[in-house]
Amino acid sequence: MSETISNDDEQGDDVRRFYISKSKFLWGLQCPKLLWTAYNAKHLIPEPDAAQQAIFDQGHEVGALVKQMFPDGVEVGDGVLDLDETIRLTQKAIKLRKPLFEAAFSAEGGYCRVDILQPSPKDAWDIIEVKSTTSLKDVHLDDLAFQTWVLTSAGLKIRACYLCHINPDFIRRGEIDPKKFFVLEDVMARVASLSRNVEDKLGDMFKTIRQRQHPDIKIGPHCDDPYTCALHDPCWKFLPEHNVLDLYRGTKKGFGLLDDRVTLLKDIPDDLKLTANQAIQKATAVSGKPHVNKTAISKFLGGLEYPLHYLDFETLGTAIPLFDDVRPYQQMPFQFSLHIVHEPEAKPEHVMFLAEGRHDPRPEFMLKLRDAIGRSGSIVAFNAPFELGRLRECCEVMPGFSTWLKGIEGRVVDLLDPFRSFDYYHPDQQGSASMKAVLPALTGKGYEGLAIQEGGAASREFLRVTFGDVPEAERQEVRKHLEEYCGQDTEGMIWIVEALRKPAG
Ligand code: SF4
């Protein structure tokens, strides 16, 4: 029931190599090399990392919630690893004519477990696939097409297919009613036409798996579509620094250049049409020096008014909202760091907030932030619409802060602007204007020494130590790491502005 394609029926390949499970079928659709590796060199496929594991865990929580809609549902083969046994147990359970969770089927070398199999009239069944996304995606249809084909081939009459995903308009008010939380989309017509091709595709996949060597597949956009491939790192590691896939908004052009054996930005032929930003990338790759539009950078810096407030938020967004007045995946602020530089050359003052306790962090967050931000001076954020968006959402549920927010909105400056516009571009940014690319490129400083190095990890760690059963000493340690990480983001902005002042000054 998780959104990612591995691990839901992983056992299918460990125990019975002649089955292609649903997740591996989807891998096979994405890339034959990935499929081959999964069966012939499985050790090359890394275990899920913390971010992927968090997605699995979230999928399991969503799966548990959906089951509440089927109070007479029967769990089939819970914890059973032997595939034949899961299939046998399913055959028994089917006779009950009750909703079945994780019913298992195999046919013609395909194996799948169905999230929910619901009895329908005339001895037929409905397949319900549960996803923790807020919308239907093409890959979900492939997933259902495979299940439909396996079940039909195994002799079941399938009346309908549904994709059950999270209602994006749901707002929590008290206990969650799964009937309001989920949306059921009837996708039978689209799935039926796709399932007609499953047999042929499965046949091709068996041929691929039996090859002595992996198919020679070039990297391409498919490496990240529909999911980032598990072999992304080893397949892409041949690319040197400053390569053509760094081209800003130039994925197609980049792969075209690779096809023509042009790997480095500096080697792009002069007759190839580049956008203005791509041309800057090529020029900086050739010169090794940053591109600076001095007039624009001076104008940007001239717009900064002391005291400068460097502001950054950390947020969390869970599939199942933790608090009232929150939507699924809504990013809720739980931490801010604010560095205030009162005048040029002054030592920055640092104010921080990190929510404590298991209650909604927003009221205290807003109070502390309102107290901390002075009455004048610029408020500098990197990708400021994100911070402003969170503040506006907070004001929707706490309208008492609206007047304050309106008063400060005009003072907000987006430090991303000079980089997104390519008024400043350093070749080491490698096509990215993100803070994680800009900070080391401009200042030589980064996040390497920190225990938490990116926002996703900050969110996961906050959730873990706040809502999980974690020893107090570890909890305090993680909170210290969270403060260091968020503090680095705002201090990093000070360093970036200092670096911008140098070439413009
Ligand atoms: S990274 Fe790309 S080429 Fe390599 S196995 Fe994955 S999808 Fe295929």
Q: What percent of the chain has pLDDT over 90?
A: 91
**31 Cα: distance to centroid of ligand 1 (angstroms):** 6
Residue 413: per-residue pLDDT: 98
Tell me, using a 6 A CB cutoff, whether residue 87 lines ligand 1: no
The answer on pLDDT for 10 being more than 70 is no
**Residue 441 near residue 429, CB atoms below 8 Å:** yes
User: Is the CB of 486 within 6 Å of ligand 1?
Assistant: no
Give yes or no for residue 316 CB within 6 A of ligand 1. no
Are 365 and 395 a contacting pair, CB within 8 Å? no
- Amino acid identity of residue 393, one-letter, is E
Task: Please say if the pLDDT value at position 431 is more than 80.
Answer: yes
The structure tokens listed for 324 are 């009232």
- Given a contact cutoff of 8 angstroms between Cβ atoms, the answer to whether 134 and 177 are in contact is no
Q: Is the pLDDT of residue 4 over 60?
A: no
Q: What percent of the chain is predicted at pLDDT more than 70? A: 96
Q: How many angstroms separate the CA atoms of 210 and 147, rounded?
A: 23
Q: How far is the CA of 488 from the centre of ligand 1 (A)?
A: 35
- Ligand 1, closest atom to CA 30? 7
Helix axes 138-153, 22-30, angle to 10 degrees: 130
- In this prediction, residue 503 carries a pLDDT of 54
Which amino acid is located at 88 in the chain? R
Summary mean pLDDT of the chain: 94
Q: Max CA-CA distance within the chain?
A: 80
pLDDT score of 505: 40
Contacts of 35 (CB under 8 A, 6+ apart): 24, 27, 28, 205, 208, 209
Provide the pLDDT for residue 327.
Answer: 97
Q: Which residues contact 469 (CB under 8 A, 6 or more apart)?
A: none
- Confidence category of residue 448, pLDDT binned at 50, 70, 90: confident
Q: What pLDDT does 9 receive? A: 41
What's the pLDDT tens digit per position in 384-404?
A: 999 999 999 999 999 999 999
Is the minimum distance from the CB of 45 to ligand 1 under 6 angstroms?
Answer: no
Q: How far is the CA of 232 from the centre of ligand 1 (A)?
A: 6
Run of H or E residues at 120: strand 110-120
Q: Is the CB of 29 under 6 A from ligand 1?
A: no
Check whether 249 has a pLDDT greater than 60.
yes
How many A from CA of 143 to the centre of ligand 1?
20
Distance between Cα 220 and ligand 1 center (Å): 8
pLDDT for 254-273, tens place per residue? 999 999 999 999 999 999 99
Distance 42 CA to ligand 1 centre (A): 14
Decide: 34 in ligand 1 pocket, CB within 6 A.
Answer: yes
Distance CA 500, CA 505 (A): 8
33 Cβ below 6 A of ligand 1: yes
Residues 6+ apart with CB under 8 A from 431: 245, 246, 247, 248, 281
229 lines ligand 1 (CB under 6 A): yes
Q: Identify which of 42, 214, 217 to mutate to test ligand 1's pocket (most ligand atoms within 8 A of the CB).
A: 217
pLDDT exceeds cutoff 70 at 191: yes
Candidate from 26, 209, 218, 219 with most ligand 1 atoms within 8 A of CB, to mutate: 219
pLDDT digits (tens, 9 = 90+) for 103-122: 999 999 999 999 999 999 99
77 CA distance to ligand 1 middle (Å): 33
Q: Is the CB of 160 under 6 A from ligand 1?
A: no
Distance (Å) of CA 151 to CA 155, 360, 443, 497: 6, 45, 58, 60
Identify the band that residue 11 occupies on the pLDDT scale cut at 50, 70 and 90.
very low
Report whether 350 contacts 311 (CB < 8 A): no
